[in-house]
Structure 1
């Protein structure tokens, strides 16, 4: 396997290529406050199985610039600009190869709205859902999320120009605008589907590649109902839904991020790989 650092404008990423000619090229579009390095093991697994794989950090996160210097970069910019930019770079780097994608959480939101989907043979959504805080079933988690998204996060963003998400237990630090937008959408029952400026429902209805939407029984955020709210708008696509329990992965927990950890490498990753391979045969 060959690793190459890449740049797509300000966006920093990594291309992992198999030793032999790849059968397909795939981009992993990351979750909010989740650094590129988190996806290393999964990307390596895909490359070892013949899929050239790109990982990256959104602008204002990780290696793609400091959150303070990119304070005006919001989730909308990640969705509408960063995701398509990396997808287009990958398509240009591998002309003629089948193209695939995996979107984790907000990365899946972008794909579900049709950003970065041009020419895709199929894509998988991992823990991607309509992320209304009101839809979180666990009362304690719902209160915690509202405290972070609606009180602590915006206050820290206003003072610092970015959100120290690591100190809040949310992962990597993120730009102020990303927190503001996240909190605004989370107040709405339909998340960004209730933001008229996003035209989210109309965009989702134009998506046509096959979709595999994966959720987990112990994910406090992306519940089956919240995932269905998102995928229900994919009216022109063939959508397959799978819900895994920790027992299915032979692990104690999976939650919102555990599917991308190597603990389920031998139990759950092969099922996703098989689905992806079927889309390009």
Structure 2
């Protein structure tokens, strides 16, 4: 289960080596999204677009974004529609599909942030790694590095987590959503509240070992994911109960034409007590980030 999160509001400010600015841009359908850019004062080596996990506001990734900016990468984070700064004043009655975050929001972010002069790398966390296959402009992404991306089926989880998830999905949440009209995720200190449509589809798809690829109403997804040829580096922490290697393989197999690199990591290897599903971006995870940024540096074409 997602651990307790703490978020901080980000405002425009200047650091010694990079600048932080709040910005806005439109999704593919014109929906207004709020983002935060982290721009190095020195020459920009490449760009990194951060695609968040489900219900995790962009502010959670601030520490990583600042770290990457100090290494010469310009970073853009953003909140999906219905989440945190990109949410309407009232979630009840707000209609959307879980797939909109990829098909509409991430597409808009890629168009807004991409630059023909610089490589664009996508960093995806959980759903963020799923979202690339939903985009129509994935060809603009040089490579994706994703953490904790899996199929979401409880059967891939350890017994204790499996039971917990079953109780929450099938007993606790249905009555809450029926009463509030949205998923009050924040009440459980799990992240931001989620629109009803996101909850309904997420719950439905997590009941199947192959996630939304088994949904007869989503047959087009097989074609969309097969079209992706972007190199993918898919990381799974061996203590991430929500996205263990089996879960990752079950999902990533559908990126069947993308050059794929599977990376398993252990907390001990990075001097950490645990990683879990959220620890990829927590304080002390700099060694994990260094491994990723080194890969990005290797993919940056040499200057002419």
TM normalised by structure 2 equals 0.86
Q: Aligned-pair RMSD on alpha carbons?
A: 1.6
CA contact (8 A) 1:129 1:222 kept: yes
Please, which runs of 5 or more residues in structure 1 have no aligned partner? none
Instruction: Report the secondary structure of 1:166's partner residue.
Output: helix
The answer to which of 3-12 and 221-230 deviates more is 3-12
Residue from 232, 236, 241 that aligns with 1:215: 236
CA contact (8 A) 1:79 1:115 kept: no
CA contact (8 A) 1:85 1:116 kept: no
Q: Distance in 2 between matches of 1:83 and 1:150?
A: 30
Q: Distance in 2 between matches of 1:255 and 1:110?
A: 21
C-alpha deviations, 1:147-178, integer Å up to 9, x for none? 22233223222211211112234222111111
CA contact (8 A) 1:106 1:128 kept: yes
C-alpha deviations, 1:200-224, integer Å up to 9, x for none? 2222211111110001010001010
CA contact (8 A) 1:219 1:255 kept: yes
C-alpha deviations, 1:215-239, integer Å up to 9, x for none? 1010001010110112222221111
Q: Distance in 1 between matches of 2:131 and 2:262?
A: 18
* Residue in structure 1 matched with residue 109 of structure 2 by the alignment: 86
* Correspondence 1:1-281 to 2 at 5 A: 1-9=18-26, 10-66=32-88, 68=91, 71-91=94-114, 94-114=115-135, 117-136=138-157, 138-198=158-218, 199-265=220-286, 267-281=287-301
Q: Distance in 1 between matches of 2:217 and 2:136?
A: 15
TM normalised by structure 1 equals 0.93
**Residues 154 and 115 of structure 1: CA distance in aligned 2, closer, same or farther (over 3 Å):** farther
